[in-house]
């Protein structure tokens, strides 16, 4: 079993006179409190955090990501058309006697 190094015996990578309090999981160097940043629950050094942000900026959106907005618009229009089609179909199933008002006249004459 691999034993974790005692952080109090290690020194900060940037400040040799300070005790380390954390080890960066990306570069595996030790740092003091001032040299680490909390990012999504992980303590990262400034260099690794900068490298992570630069690499995210360099990533270009893929063809799938670029095609999502038009696809969503198309699906929205299809859903709207389907809703209106079903509404119109439902209205067409209403008997014509209701449209003519004949149903109301039958009830008042009785």
Specify the pLDDT at position 106.
61
Q: Which residue has the higher pLDDT, 34 or 101?
A: 34
In the chain, count H helices and then E strands.
4, 4
If 0-12 CB within 10 Å is exposed, 13-18 middle and 19+ buried, where does residue 19 land?
Answer: middle
Specify the pLDDT at position 3.
59
Query: 1 pLDDT exceeds 60?
Result: no
Query: 2 pLDDT exceeds 80?
Result: no
Closest by alpha carbon to 30, among 38, 21, 17, 39? Answer: 21
* Model pLDDT for residues 37-89, shown as the tens digit of each residue: 888 888 888 888 888 877 766 666 666 667 788 888 999 999 999 999 999 99
């Amino acid at each position: 079993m691999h034993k974790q190094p005692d952080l109090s015996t290690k020194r900060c990578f940037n400040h040799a006179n300070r005790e380390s309090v954390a080890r960066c999981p990306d570069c595996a160097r030790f740092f003091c409190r001032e040299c680490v940043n909390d990012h999504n629950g992980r303590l990262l050094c400034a260099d690794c955090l900068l490298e992570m942000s630069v690499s995210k900026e360099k990533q270009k959106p893929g063809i799938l990501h670029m095609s999502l907005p038009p696809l969503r618009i198309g699906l929205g229009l299809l859903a709207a058309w389907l809703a209106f089609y079903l509404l119109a179909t439902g209205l067409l199933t209403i008997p014509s006697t209701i449209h003519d008002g004949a149903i109301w006249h039958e009830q008042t004459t009785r």
